[in-house]
């Protein structure tokens, strides 16, 4: 079994993927043609150029423009079914999808309509593509505290089927994690998981804030943890997983190059790492490719790649049945590869 075949065969969980950023070029073209007044390109080559980011703030601007294409529940369903199709093609059986609920409200999809579209899309994703979807509702930065509470209010009020947690994404430096302490406290009291991004474009101090102030149960990115030995030790001791996205960090210029990515140092330190795509449509990647990069650039072999897949299954907030299905499937692929 070749390495690509091995990666494709691994049943996977994906824990860090944003609904709008995941939309493939085909899906975005469908929506930009559906809503002809948008500034988002309607031509494939132009759209690909539009997705060449100069830095993280530029990425956020482009993301906001594509987000405005989602104006009806049908647009939400189009994105969800496109995502489920792409996840299935990568043998992803379970995904926690980050949805920026409040970013859709000003453009025509209200709270009830969004929830209905999510529940309907979730049902169809399972029936038509065999992919189980769950939701993380994030406070997208730039936002303010009020919007942090609007997100929480939406989640507590609607809690669409499949809801697992509250997230915090986007620009980090101007919006210290600690400022959202009360909102996350309230979310946790209501049984939601704390799943913020931290240390993507900032140093270890924001990861500490996510852990101590927001009681994070996983860290989105967290790649700057390598700059703080005490933090690495803490992550190893607590087993709190990082959601690492290789291509994303290069595309948004969060790291200068793939070769300089902190993945190997995190693994050497013994941190629990999961691999994710973040925004696969915008970054031209998919989960199989991220595993392949870990092999090609950092020399991870079959046992290490299988362990990364196990980490994601263990770190997922899915049912025990889904988890054991994933873990058994990973074992079976390793056995089949060994017997060849």
Which residues form the interface with Zn ion (CB under 5 A)?
278
Name the residue with the smallest CB distance to Zn ion.
278
Please tell me which residue in 96, 200, 217, 334 is annotated as part of the active site: 200
Q: Please identify which residue in the block is written with the tokens 């994710």.
A: 276
The minimum distance between CB 17 and Zn ion, in angstroms, equals 8
**Is 30 part of the annotated catalytic residue set?**
no
Minimum CB distance to Zn ion smaller for 139 or for 330: 139
Closest among 240, 239, 205, 210 to 224, alpha carbons compared = 205
Minimum CB distance to Zn ion smaller for 114 or for 223: 223
**C-beta of residue 200 within 8 angstroms of C-beta of residue 254:** yes
Minimum CB distance to Zn ion smaller for 6 or for 180: 180
The CA distance from 315 to 216, in Å, is: 13
Minimum CB distance to Zn ion smaller for 254 or for 313: 254
The minimum distance between CB 230 and Zn ion, in angstroms, equals 25
Task: State the Cα torsion 247-27-168-130 to the nearest 10°.
Answer: -90
Angle between helices 73-89 and 111-129 (to 10 degrees): 30
The minimum distance between CB 129 and Zn ion, in angstroms, equals 22
The minimum distance between CB 5 and Zn ion, in angstroms, equals 29
Minimum CB distance to Zn ion smaller for 14 or for 278: 278
The CA distance from 14 to 286, in Å, is: 11
Q: Please identify which residue in the block is written with the tokens 């101590």.
A: 212
The CA distance from 193 to 196, in Å, is: 10
The minimum distance between CB 235 and Zn ion, in angstroms, equals 18
SS3 93: strand
Closest among 260, 261, 207 to 235, alpha carbons compared = 207
Neighbours of 220 (CB within 10 A): 26
Minimum CB distance to Zn ion smaller for 249 or for 333: 249
The CA distance from 31 to 72, in Å, is: 11
Omega into 142 within 30° of 0, i.e. cis? yes
The minimum distance between CB 329 and Zn ion, in angstroms, equals 26
The CA distance from 11 to 147, in Å, is: 36
Provide the annotated active-site residues: 200
């Amino acid at each position: 079994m070749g390495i690509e075949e091995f990666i494709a065969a691994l049943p996977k969980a994906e824990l860090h993927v944003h609904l709008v950023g995941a939309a493939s070029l085909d899906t975005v073209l469908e929506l930009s043609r559906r809503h002809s007044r948008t500034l988002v390109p309607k031509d494939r080559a132009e759209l690909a150029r539009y997705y060449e980011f100069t830095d993280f703030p530029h990425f956020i601007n482009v993301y906001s423009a594509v987000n405005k294409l989602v104006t009806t529940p049908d647009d939400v369903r189009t994105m969800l079914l496109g995502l489920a199709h792409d996840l299935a093609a990568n043998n992803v059986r379970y995904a926690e999808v980050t949805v920026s609920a409040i970013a859709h409200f000003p453009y025509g999809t209200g709270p009830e309509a969004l929830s209905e579209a999510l529940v309907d899309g979730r049902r169809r994703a399972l029936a038509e593509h065999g992919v189980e979807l769950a939701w993380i509702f994030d406070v997208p930065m730039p936002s303010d505290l009020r919007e942090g509470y609007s997100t929480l209010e939406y989640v507590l009020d609607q809690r669409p089927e499949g809801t697992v947690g509250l997230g915090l994404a986007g620009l980090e430096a101007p919006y210290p994690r600690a400022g959202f302490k009360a909102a996350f406290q309230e979310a946790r009291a209501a049984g939601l998981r704390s799943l913020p991004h931290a240390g993507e474009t900032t140093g270890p101090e924001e990861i500490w804030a996510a852990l101590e102030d927001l009681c994070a149960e996983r860290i989105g990115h967290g790649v700057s943890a390598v700059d703080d030995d005490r933090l690495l030790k803490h992550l190893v001791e607590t087993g709190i997983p990082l959601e690492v996205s290789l291509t994303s960090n290069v595309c948004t210029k969060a790291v200068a190059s793939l070769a300089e990515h902190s993945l190997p140092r995190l693994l050497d330190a013994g941190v629990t790492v999961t691999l994710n795509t973040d925004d696969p449509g915008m970054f031209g990647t998919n989960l199989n490719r991220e595993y392949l990069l870990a092999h090609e650039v950092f020399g991870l072999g079959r046992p290490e790649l299988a362990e990364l897949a196990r980490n994601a299954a263990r770190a997922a907030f899915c049912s025990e049945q889904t988890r054991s299905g994933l873990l058994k499937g990973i074992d079976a692929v390793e056995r089949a590869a060994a017997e060849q």
